[in-house]
Amino acid sequence: MATVYVTRRMQFNAAHRLHNPNKSDEWNKATFGKCNSPNYHGHNFILEVTVGGEPDPDTGYVVDLGILKKILEEKVISKVDHANLNLEVAFLHGVLPSTENFAIGIWKQIENELPSGTLHSIKLTETENNSVVYRGE
In the complex, least distance from residue 116 CB atom to a second copy, rounded to whole angstroms: 19
Q: Which of 101, 111, 113, 118 binds a second copy (CB under 8 A)?
A: 101
In the complex, least distance from residue 114 CB atom to a second copy, rounded to whole angstroms: 16
* Nearest to 48, CA basis, from 60, 61, 65: 65
> Is 26 one of the catalytic residues?
no
In the complex, least distance from residue 70 CB atom to a second copy, rounded to whole angstroms: 13
* Nearest to 98, CA basis, from 32, 33, 38, 6: 32
Q: Are 124 and 131 in contact (CB under 8 A)?
A: yes
Residues sharing a CB contact under 8 Å with residue 14, sequence separation 6 or more, in sequence order: 42, 43, 45, 80, 81, 82, 83, 84, 85
Q: Which of 25, 35, 93, 117 binds a second copy (CB under 8 A)?
A: 35
Q: CB count, 10 Å around CB of 49? A: 25
> Is 126 one of the catalytic residues?
yes
Q: Which of 42, 73, 75, 111 binds a second copy (CB under 8 A)?
A: 42
29: amino acid identity, one letter: K
Residues that bind a second copy (CB under 8 A): 2-11, 13-16, 18, 20, 22-23, 31-35, 37, 39-44, 50, 55, 58-62, 65-66, 81-84, 87-88, 95-101, 103-104, 127-135, 137
